[in-house]
Amino acid sequence: MPYSTNKDIRIYYEVCGEGVPLLLIHANPFDHNLWIYQVSHFSTYFKVIALDIRGYGRSDKPTSAFSLKDMGDDVLAVCRDEGVQEAILLGASVGSTIALWLAIDHAEMFKALILVGGSGKASSRAQDRIRGYTELGVDKYRIQHMEALVCPEFRASPVGRYLLQTFEERNPWLSGEAIARIFRALTEVDLVPHLAGLALPTLVINGELDHSLPGGLCTAEMIPGAVHRILPGTGHACCIEDPAGFDALVEAFLTEHGLMPLRRSASPRDGRKT
C-alpha cells in the first residue's frame, strides 16, 4: 500500500501516469475517489497523485487536535516520497484551502494553482458540520452532507446515486470526531490577507449552484491575475457532476499558461500502487 508518514500520521495516496506531477486534494466529505474522472483523463498527460487527506479513506483518522499546517505537511510528505520538486496543484473545498496554504508557504514548488469552491477561510457552515459529525455521527450525517453538495438532478440520476453510494459504503472506515477535527482546523485559519501576494497562475472554479460561489468569486478577485469560471448546472462537487465540462475548464487554463502537454504520455502507468 502506498503511504507517506507525517509525524506518525499515515497518508494514503495513488499515482497514475507520467510527466509533470498534478496533485489532487479532495473535499469534505469525500476521499481521493472524488477525482475518479480527473485521474482517468489527466493521467494520460501528467503524473497524477491523488491522496486521502487525514480523516478519510485509507489515511489515518486522528481525533486529537491538528492544524491546517499539519494537513499541508501531509501533502508535502507525499511530495517528498514521490520526489516531487515542482507540480500543478488542484484542490477542492477543504482541499482548496490546503492548496492555498501550500501555495502561500511553498510557492517555489508549484507551477499553477486550481481551486474548486476556493476560499481562504472556513465556511459559515463549519459549526453545523462539526455538530452533525459529532452528534448525529457519520452514518446519519455524511449522506446528508454529500447530497447537499451536489445539484438535485445529479443526486437523483443513476450515476449520481451510484457514486454517492460508493462513498457512503466507506462509512465504517471513518470517525465523526476525526472529520470534525478537520472543520475545527479550518475555523482557526484565515488566509485571505495573504491572497494578494500570490503570484501563481490561478484558476477558481465553482458550480453554478455551489453554496461557496460568493467565496470563490472573492478569492479570485483577491489573487492577482486569477480567473474565475462557473460550471453550469452543478454544485460544490462539480468535478464529479460534470467531469467533461470540468476537465475542459482545467485543460483550457493549463493550455493558456503553456502547462498542458501537446501529446499524451506514450506509456502511462495504470493505477500504480507505490
pLDDT digits (tens, 9 = 90+) for 90-100: 999 999 999 99
Residue spans of the domains in the chain: they are 3-120+190-256
Residue 124: pLDDT band (50, 70, 90) is confident
Question: Is residue 270's pLDDT more than 60?
Answer: no
Q: How many C-alpha atoms does 98 have within 13 Å on its Cβ side?
A: 29
**Cα-based torsion angle of the residue sequence 273, 24, 86, 187 in order, rounded to the nearest 10 degrees:** -130
From the list 117, 84, 81, 125, the residue with the least C-alpha distance to 99 is 117
CATH superfamily assigned to domain 3-120+190-256: Alpha/Beta hydrolase fold, catalytic domain (3.40.50.1820)
Q: What is the 3-state secondary structure (H, E, C) of 142-155?
A: HHHHHHHCCCHHHH
pLDDT single digits (tens) 28-83:
999 999 999 999 999 999 999 999 999 999 999 999 999 999 999 999 999 999 99
pLDDT at 268: 45
Contact in structure between 141 and 202 (CB atoms under 8 Å): no
pLDDT at 119: 78
